[in-house]
Structure 1
Amino acid sequence: MNKFLFDMFPVILFFIAFKFFGIFTATAVAIAATIAQIIYSKIRYGKIEKMLIVSGAVIGILGGITLLLHDKAYIMMKPTALYWIIAVALLISNLFFKKNLIQQMMSNLIDAPAPIWNKLNLVWVAFLVLLGFLNLYVAFNYTENTWVNFKLFGVTGIMFAFFIAQTVALKKYLIAPLEEQGKLAEKDKSAHNKDETK
């Protein structure tokens, strides 16, 4: 939960600043919030996650152009640019470097064979590409207010639904939490002892 809130920090501040001051002030606030995230990560953990660096670069470039040209179109394209950069990274890493980034991120939750991981990687690529197109559609066919609401609530809801669908589809590969594993072990041990006493 703390990780989720940390990742959403710039988006939440962008939303609040937009409601009170408009999209250009919100853009400046989001840039400042992302820089603050980077500094905090470096001080707190001694390193900065690659995803945070990429996010910082994208919002720094597109947000900077938005403020420089006073053109909101660039900041509206930022989510799409980020989704598509991640999608390309997932695809290239898997196809050309034989590194499955989704597997690296989720191997503590899922124990699946290589073909399943490769399919899951492609599903993520397709999902992010579609999410990028959806962002562009909302950004340039609806009002600023609708897009900002979609950026916070719509995308979060879509992501949550995607995670739920992914969990259901891969339920037989899910790794049980340690406490659950302990309960199962105790249950098996108890059943084994009963069999021996018969």
Structure 2
Amino acid sequence: MKQFIDFIPLFLFFIVYKLDPRTVDVAGQSFELGGIYSATAVLIISSLVVYGALLIRQRKLEKGQWLTLVACLVFGGLTLAFHSETFLKWKAPAVNWLFATAFAGSHFIGDRVLIKRIMGHALTLPEPVWTRLNLAWIAFFLFCGAANLFVAFTFQDIWVDFKVFGSLGMTVLFLVGQGVYLSRHLHDSDPTTPKTED
């Protein structure tokens, strides 16, 4: 579920981007709605609302959520400040490659790979499986970054559609594949140990 919270601002971005340009009056102020720049403003505002609500509710944000929020503010802010969508096109590749770097770095820094730090409390797996799983996440983020960059600068008419639905589709497919892979390695705890109820 956590993975899909990140898509809420993206869906709002997509909806506003697809609107026919129009002027909307709010509290005596006129705003343009529709197109890339108003959609970018909605992306920034909705990201602040979503992650702000999570921060209040959970008293913290995960590092990945901080990275996503900061990237949204930086790349979205630059897009609006310079009136150039090029900055926003670099957001998805940059975020994905930073995630890939973090997962790769965990092979050399710390006592556990990053995926084990994230999921180790819920799963018991052999070390080689954790290593392969972490490598799969690195490959996934590298591929997603490259795919977003390629589409953004090659197929400019559909890059927003791909940014939303392509990214979501790749994430769902990868998570399903991860589930299938993990199902071959999961094993119950010792069956002779009686289960207790809370």
How does the TM-score come out when normalised to structure 2?
Answer: 0.81
**5+ residue gaps, structure 2:** 20-33, 193-198
Structure showing greater Rg: 1
Q: How large is the Cα RMSD of the aligned pairs?
A: 2.0
Residue in structure 2 matched with residue 11 of structure 1 by the alignment: 10
Residue in structure 2 matched with residue 62 of structure 1 by the alignment: 75
Change in 2 beyond 3 A, CA 1:162/1:115: same
What letter corresponds to residue 130 of structure 2 in structure 1?
A: W
Alignment of 1:15-164 (within 5 A): 15-20=14-19, 21-108=34-121, 110-144=123-157, 146-164=158-176
CA contact (8 A) 1:84 1:128 kept: yes
What letter corresponds to residue 140 of structure 1 in structure 2?
A: F
Residue in structure 2 matched with residue 192 of structure 1 by the alignment: none
Task: Please report how far the alpha carbon of residue 100 of structure 1 lies from its aligned counterpart in structure 2 after TM superposition.
Answer: 1.6
Residue in structure 2 matched with residue 195 of structure 1 by the alignment: none
Moved more, 28-37 or 38-47: 38-47
CA contact (8 A) 1:80 1:135 kept: yes
**C-alpha deviations, 1:100-150, integer Å up to 9, x for none?**
221122235542111111121111111111110110110011124x11111
Is 1:174 the counterpart of 2:173? The answer is no
Equivalent residues, number: 177
CA contact (8 A) 1:110 1:173 kept: no
SS in 2 for 1:96: coil
**5+ residue gaps, structure 1:** 186-198
Q: How many angstroms apart in 2 are the aligned matches of 1:59 and 1:174?
A: 37
Q: How many angstroms apart in 2 are the aligned matches of 1:78 and 1:64?
A: 11
Kindly indicate which of the two structures has a greater share of residues assigned to strand.
2
CA contact (8 A) 1:62 1:75 kept: yes
Residue in structure 2 matched with residue 191 of structure 1 by the alignment: none
Kindly indicate which of the two structures has a greater share of residues assigned to helix.
1
Structure 1 runs of 4+ with >4 Å offset:
none
Q: How many angstroms apart in 1 are the aligned matches of 2:160 and 2:92?
A: 11
Change in 2 beyond 3 A, CA 1:109/1:163: farther
Task: Please report how far the alpha carbon of residue 170 of structure 1 lies from its aligned counterpart in structure 2 after TM superposition.
Answer: 2.6
Q: How many angstroms apart in 2 are the aligned matches of 1:96 and 1:4?
A: 25
Change in 2 beyond 3 A, CA 1:175/1:66: farther
What letter corresponds to residue 124 of structure 2 in structure 1?
A: D
What letter corresponds to residue 34 of structure 1 in structure 2?
A: S
